[in-house]
Structure 1
Amino acid sequence: MPAHLILGVQSSLTVQISDSAPMAEWPGVQGILGHDEGNYLTVLFLAWAYILSARWAELLKSASDCKIKFTTENVASFMVPSHQYAAEIDLGYHAGKDEAGWWAVILSSGGCRHITADYNQKIYLSPWSVTISDTSRIGVMGDPSVAGIELPSSSTALAYLARFCSRHRLYGQCSAALAAVLYVPFLSGRLVSLPMPKQVQRSQSPAISAQPDKDIIGEHGRLLPYYMTLSSNVWGMRSLLFSTFFNADIECNLVSAWLNPAFAIIDPLLEANDLPMLAKVLANREPKFSSLWLGAIITDIAKITLRDIRTGLTALDLNAAAWTGTVQSFIALKPGLSDGITIRREDECRLLFITGCDGFIRVPIYPWKPFGATLLYDTEPQVRQHACCGCHCLEYHSWNWVLANGEELEDLGIDLTSDNENGLNTHVPERYPSAQHDLKLFSESLSEAATRGIFSWLRSTGYPANEKPIYQHSWIDIESSDDECVDDVESGTIEVTGSQEFIDEWLSKVD
């Protein structure tokens, strides 16, 4: 399935720092003591934004018609006197000129504006390019010189970041900041408010490793190209958040009963701005996306996304679902077997899409499966042909990059880690706030929208006569003119034993 990724932009995301930004008080990581004290999210965010931008430039170097430029020209012009900085960070160790200068550049200007690509006579920035607002610049203690420094490669910048995190014992914040950076393309050049840095002073004794279990920064570095591919698929990122609330067992007419209780818990957390508890609730529902939700909370995307889910909006991206080993829609599941008389409507939908029947070449945007079954003689010929196969389904094989010369590069991806290997303890009992009991809990609006949506897709060419109770239901209620047409058929003017017989009868009367 084709997908378009963002490979370059012409405007940066603007970062401002604030004491009232989301996660201004870092809640800590359960089970990890002595780490992530203070708040370095903004510092780490700016470092990761540079690293992804540098890696972007390195990957584009292989394109013959794309010129990459790392420049330190006018770097000094972005620096300001130390008394004008909104905050100041002590690296906490002796850093060389290039390393200290790099930190000074990215914290005072973002640094990404110095990495550009020239393509088709246009200058592009990386999708993760950020700049610092004039009132939010961060200084480095000692005011290191930036004159004549060399901007580092992504691997060198990763080493700088690893040393900083080791010195300050940063573990959870490092991964959280990376997750937040993945939403920079999502924010599309707008403004994001990040927490004011709060530094914890440490002694000059040798630092304890910030990775209590493994080299987390090295692992992130190995996976950077995959993170970047996912991040540049903006709709795919959105779909992963939406998929947290998807349950393949829920039929379209029961969506309200499934989602309303969840939001009876979530809505009070949003009203109270209890973001740490919100992150726990969402992480316990889908642990593999806990980091993505944390990144969405830090960048203030989570509230908007949850509002959209609450009102019944959907986001579906089968590529992103396959990349992450998740299910976002019933359409991607393996069909069952027909009994030769009827076929489940969900299987009918799958076969209509997979076989590419006229009018069904686009995947339904409604993820919830339709209820009930259809008589086989009322289905399309392609459905009848494959109804008893029970094997036709969507299976992910690979991602192919289509090059400018028409050639393709196949990317088989990476092995996915199963949920029980992700190291998260999801069985720790949590004391969630009491559910909010109000009229929203009993609303059927989500079920109504989901039912009308999937049946509009499934019956876009018309309803069988025996589905009159469905199309006359108030949730669907097709136009009365359609009812009259079906009533004529049912009145006995034409004896109908199936859609094919009706068509043959009609064709025989055409001169």
Structure 2
Amino acid sequence: MCWSYIFSTRLLQLQKRRAHFTDSCLRPIPINAVGDLAQSEILVQLPGEASLRLVHWLSAILAPKPGWASDDEGGACSPWDARCTGGVRFIIATEEQVTIDPDAEPPSPSEATELLIEFCNLFGIGHEPCRSRDPSPLSPIKAAFLATLAIPFYRMAKLQPHLPRPSLKLRKTTGMDEGQKTDIRRYAGEAHYYMTLSMHPYALGPVLWSIFWQPDIQCNLVSPWLAAISSVIRPAFNYCDFEMLVKIFALRRPRVALWWHGLFLLGNPKILDFIHNYLTTLDEGCFYDTLSRPDIVTAAWTGAPQSYQDDLSSTAYHHLNDAVPRATLLQHRHTLTLRDPWPLFYGWRPFGSVPKDTIEPDLYPWLEHGHNREYNHWTWWSKDDASVGPSVHAGYRKETGRFDPTVPDNLELLPATDSSAPLPPASVLPIAFEPSRRATLQMINHSLGNIVGERSVSTAVIPDLKQSHPWLKDWTPV
């Protein structure tokens, strides 16, 4: 709830909007007036040293109805809006009777961050250092930050979070040191970089599903690759072991795993159905359209490649008799046709190569210099207000200087110990061929367009491309 408020008011702040408290805030009561609690009630007992601003803030964010709202809206709705509306009710108790000023101004994001630190110190909630190598569980502060980032995805997928019942007890412990406080303030100050991805499922989706992507796997071999992944993570699936899953993901792709961690922390097991659907059909099935389309922008933002389009290697092809890898050809075409309405559906590597003399001559200058795509900056435009000029941002890496390039992706393929060993039977490793079929057909569809906007079967440069293969049955070129 605390991070939900900080994210939401940060968005209002960026939009130059204001907020106010509503009449729906909880009413704090003296601790000596608290009787026996019902099973559905959770006591939040605040000591005498708790500031009045903290009491008022908690009364607003823990209320079942919006305890605060933007001045121009009827509710506090934002992509990260979260309230406890189920069968649980919070009771806020103070040492003495507290009177709340209904006309008080809600805390700004920076003030709310200080109130969060005050709250954590009162209840002994610690925070690990920024560069901690301690393998112990994440601090509640960092875990809540990641979980809040996942709220918009849950809302889009119509998932209800399943959160554990909180247990809050006052503790006489040493408060956070200045370094830990600074770390939390940094989280709040840099939240807008994460909020940009978090609030838009079509931007976050490609990041999430790239956890299963492998740069070496060709599109026609996706099925056995995903089947092997499914067999490895099946024990965690069977026991709904989110902790084991996120550890597996973190060992493979740490930058991607942190987003999955947020989804898992919200606790709804239906998220596993989405993973299972993707591994067996290449469609997660949580929306009317796939959320796994690779996005070269979010790949640059996160530093985690999502497709063959993000391959940084560059080779020049000078001679007409050169064989150009199909992946390289489509990489060049995609870069030169970014405005065309033919998005990438999947990022798996295209198979085969193409003779250079069969490629449109317009592409020769780029083929002969090699491919080099570099992210420079992002420009924000106001959709509705023409008086607001464009805003240019260089991004997290350049603006903060805190991007850590040493965080590795573990994407190296390990050779089989015995390459002559027979494949496991289908009963042990069942393989659904739909992922390979989908990835291959979408690769072919993406191959039909050249850089001047023409689309034809001949542009794909796939010899004897006829409807003879079983995967091409009922396939119609787009």
Q: TM-score, normalised by structure 2?
A: 0.76
User: Is it true that 1:451 corresponds to 2:440 in the alignment?
Assistant: yes
**Residue equivalent to 2:419:** none
- Gap change, CA 1:214 and 1:51, over 3 Å in 2: closer
Cα offset for 1:277? 0.9
Give 1:188's match in structure 2, choosing from 152, 155, 161.
Answer: 155
User: Is it true that 1:394 corresponds to 2:373 in the alignment?
Assistant: yes
**Residue equivalent to 1:354:** 335
Q: Deviations over 1:409-464 (max 9, x none)?
A: 10111225235369x99xxxxxxxxx998455444332222112101221351047
**Residue equivalent to 1:332:** 310
CA distance in 2, matches of 1:70, 1:337: 60
User: Is it true that 1:288 corresponds to 2:258 in the alignment?
Assistant: no
Q: What does 1:404-415 correspond to in 2, within 5 Å?
A: 404-405=385-386, 407-415=389-397
**Residue equivalent to 2:11:** 56
Give 2:363's match in structure 1, choosing from 354, 360, 383.
Answer: 383
CA distance in 2, matches of 1:213, 1:70: 30
Stretch moving more, 134-143 or 307-316: 134-143
Give 1:104's match in structure 2, choosing from 45, 51, 59.
Answer: 59
User: Is it true that 1:418 corresponds to 2:404 in the alignment?
Assistant: yes
**Residue equivalent to 1:137:** 89
Say which SS state the counterpart of residue 91 (structure 2) adopts. strand
User: Is it true that 1:197 corresponds to 2:165 in the alignment?
Assistant: yes
What root-mean-square deviation, in Å, do the aligned CA atoms of Structure 1 and Structure 2 show? 3.7
CA contact (8 A) 1:252 1:451 kept: yes
Q: Deviations over 1:311-339 (max 9, x none)?
A: 21233232222211121121233443225
CA distance in 2, matches of 1:361, 1:372: 25
Ranges in structure 1 where 5+ consecutive residues have no aligned partner: 1-45, 62-66, 426-434, 483-511
- Gap change, CA 1:396 and 1:308, over 3 Å in 2: farther
Give 2:301's match in structure 1, choosing from 310, 314, 323.
Answer: 323
With a CA cutoff of 8 Å and minimum separation of 6, indicate the structure with the bigger relative contact order: 1
**Residue equivalent to 2:72:** 118
CA distance in 2, matches of 1:102, 1:324: 33
- Gap change, CA 1:464 and 1:352, over 3 Å in 2: closer
CA distance in 2, matches of 1:350, 1:48: 40
CA distance in 2, matches of 1:131, 1:217: 22
In the alignment, residue 325 of structure 2 is paired with which amino acid? Answer: R
Q: Deviations over 1:97-121 (max 9, x none)?
A: 221232233123375x5121528xx
**Residue equivalent to 1:75:** 25
**Residue equivalent to 2:100:** 147
Q: Deviations over 1:449-499 (max 9, x none)?
A: 2112101221351047983455455254267999xxxxxxxxxxxxxxxxx
Say which SS state the counterpart of residue 141 (structure 2) adopts. helix
- Gap change, CA 1:191 and 1:455, over 3 Å in 2: closer
Ranges in structure 2 where 5+ consecutive residues have no aligned partner: 128-137, 284-291, 411-423, 449-454
Q: What does 1:164-313 correspond to in 2, within 5 Å?
A: 164-166=119-121, 167-171=123-127, 172=138, 173-188=140-155, 190=158, 192-199=160-167, 201=169, 203-204=171-172, 206-209=173-176, 215-299=182-266, 300=268, 302-310=271-279, 311-313=281-283
Cα offset for 1:261? 1.4
CA contact (8 A) 1:264 1:436 kept: no
In the alignment, residue 302 of structure 2 is paired with which amino acid? Answer: T
- Gap change, CA 1:222 and 1:437, over 3 Å in 2: farther
**Residue equivalent to 1:487:** none
Say which SS state the counterpart of residue 380 (structure 2) adopts. strand
Cα offset for 1:295? 0.8
CA distance in 1, matches of 2:124, 2:425: 41
Cα offset for 1:400? 0.8
Say which SS state the counterpart of residue 138 (structure 1) adopts. strand
Q: Deviations over 1:362-409 (max 9, x none)?
A: 332221121111122322232334322213x43211111103226211
Stretch moving more, 185-194 or 265-274: 185-194
In the alignment, residue 232 of structure 2 is paired with which amino acid? Answer: I
**Residue equivalent to 2:286:** none
In the alignment, residue 15 of structure 2 is paired with which amino acid? Answer: L
* Percent pairwise identity: 22
CA contact (8 A) 2:152 2:199 kept: yes
CA contact (8 A) 1:351 1:382 kept: no
- Gap change, CA 1:439 and 1:124, over 3 Å in 2: same
In the alignment, residue 10 of structure 2 is paired with which amino acid? Answer: R
Task: Give the count of matched residue pairs.
Answer: 417
- Gap change, CA 1:289 and 1:139, over 3 Å in 2: farther
CA distance in 2, matches of 1:480, 1:239: 26
- Gap change, CA 1:372 and 1:454, over 3 Å in 2: same
In the alignment, residue 272 of structure 1 is paired with which amino acid? Answer: Y
Say which SS state the counterpart of residue 132 (structure 1) adopts. coil
In the alignment, residue 50 of structure 1 is paired with which amino acid? Answer: Y
- Gap change, CA 1:284 and 1:210, over 3 Å in 2: farther
In the alignment, residue 293 of structure 2 is paired with which amino acid? Answer: A
Cα offset for 1:134? 4.9
In the alignment, residue 332 of structure 1 is paired with which amino acid? Answer: D
Cα offset for 1:223? 0.7
CA contact (8 A) 2:219 2:436 kept: yes
In the alignment, residue 54 of structure 1 is paired with which amino acid? Answer: T
CA distance in 1, matches of 2:153, 2:366: 40
CA contact (8 A) 2:6 2:188 kept: no
In the alignment, residue 147 of structure 1 is paired with which amino acid? Answer: I
Cα offset for 1:263? 1.2
CA contact (8 A) 1:109 1:131 kept: yes
CA distance in 2, matches of 1:465, 1:408: 39
